[in-house]
Copies of this chain bind each other. A is one copy, B any other.
């Protein structure tokens, strides 16, 4: 497919070690395990952790205080104070010119892949109206029937993810996992009040089409998550979410579909007539004692 660069994950290279972050990136390979944990903890929320005390730093990294000191020493600093001074100077310089950094980040994304994924999400939501989303939320709120979820080869995990949340928010949620037999058996229970959420992106799977067809004949409402070229299931679907899936990769991306699913779960939980909060606390009390 498209090869944007001979080197993987290319980012703009600012020369060598102009910042502590780059210094760490260079040397982290040649570090022992403990110091590498320190580096990872620091990079996880850079540079705040480095501004705290050695004890706090070490606690967050899960290592002993001396390991932190060895870590800064390996980076080339004479003592912890010098290290912190360097971080503070970087921070000061960064805070003084927030605009230049903001435009830097906004224009050139980390990698072509990330840029494409972000574009996909934005574009997906640009083509989704609030009315559509609200309608789907309303459909999923209907307590008079069950909600079934199913997906294809690569989208079934997305269905499972959505089912995991939905099962907490409301009762009667069932994830129809991979096996066709399992799906067929559940079909006989489907009726007019039921909803089935199907994820199907290219290459569209016949088994899902058959499932949708059968569910449709039984009167179930179909919510379809597909790509921008629309699965044939769209013919039977009550609601269609068309997400952008193209990325510079050999594989398609389901990120945009996942964001839509998460946004729906968020709204569903926020809904006034939803007793999600009560169910969550009830489930937690069931789990702990």
Q: Are B247 and A266 in contact (CB under 8 A)?
A: yes
Q: Are B111 and A263 in contact (CB under 8 A)?
A: yes
Whether, in the assembled complex, A118 has its beta carbon less than 8 Å from a beta carbon of chain B, the answer is yes
Can you list 15 A-B contacts (CB < 8 A)?
A8-B270, A28-B132, A40-B242, A43-B242, A45-B242, A51-B88, A102-B103, A110-B122, A110-B126, A114-B259, A117-B259, A118-B121, A121-B121, A153-B164, A157-B157
Complex CA–CA separation, A44 to B243 (angstroms): 8
Complex CA–CA separation, A62 to B62 (angstroms): 40
**Complex interface: chain B residues within 8 A of A21 (CB):** 129
Whether, in the assembled complex, A188 has its beta carbon less than 8 Å from a beta carbon of chain B, the answer is no
Please, which residue of chain B has its CB at the minimum distance from the CB of A87?
Answer: B51
Whether, in the assembled complex, A186 has its beta carbon less than 8 Å from a beta carbon of chain B, the answer is no
Q: Contacts A41-B234, A44-B240, A242-B44; is A262 near B131 (CB within 8 Å)? A: no
Complex CA–CA separation, A240 to B43 (angstroms): 10
A25 to chain B, nearest CB (A): 4
Whether, in the assembled complex, A187 has its beta carbon less than 8 Å from a beta carbon of chain B, the answer is no
Whether, in the assembled complex, A214 has its beta carbon less than 8 Å from a beta carbon of chain B, the answer is no
**Complex interface: chain B residues within 8 A of A48 (CB):** 88, 91-92, 95
Complex CA–CA separation, A110 to B122 (angstroms): 7
Whether, in the assembled complex, A83 has its beta carbon less than 8 Å from a beta carbon of chain B, the answer is no
Chain A interface main SS type:
helix
Interface string of A255-289 (1 = CB under 8 A from B): 10011001101110110000011001000000000
**Complex interface: chain B residues within 8 A of A33 (CB):** 238
Q: Contacts A95-B48, A267-B8; is A232 near B133 (CB within 8 Å)? A: no
Specify which of B9, B132, B235, B247 is in contact with A130 (CB 8 Å cutoff).
B9
Q: Are B9 and A134 in contact (CB under 8 A)?
A: yes
**Complex interface: chain B residues within 8 A of A262 (CB):** 113, 117, 247, 249, 251, 253, 255
Complex CA–CA separation, A234 to B6 (angstroms): 31
A222 to chain B, nearest CB (A): 11
**Which residues of A (22-74) have their CB < 8 Å from a CB of B?**
25-26, 28-29, 33, 36-37, 40-41, 43-46, 48, 51-52, 60-63
A232 to chain B, nearest CB (A): 7
A59 to chain B, nearest CB (A): 11
Whether, in the assembled complex, A127 has its beta carbon less than 8 Å from a beta carbon of chain B, the answer is yes
Complex CA–CA separation, A158 to B155 (angstroms): 10
A80 to chain B, nearest CB (A): 13
Whether, in the assembled complex, A143 has its beta carbon less than 8 Å from a beta carbon of chain B, the answer is no
9 extra interchain contacts, Cβ-Cβ under 8 A, other than A102-B103, A154-B164?
A: A37-B234, A45-B92, A46-B127, A51-B51, A105-B126, A157-B164, A250-B266, A253-B259, A258-B258
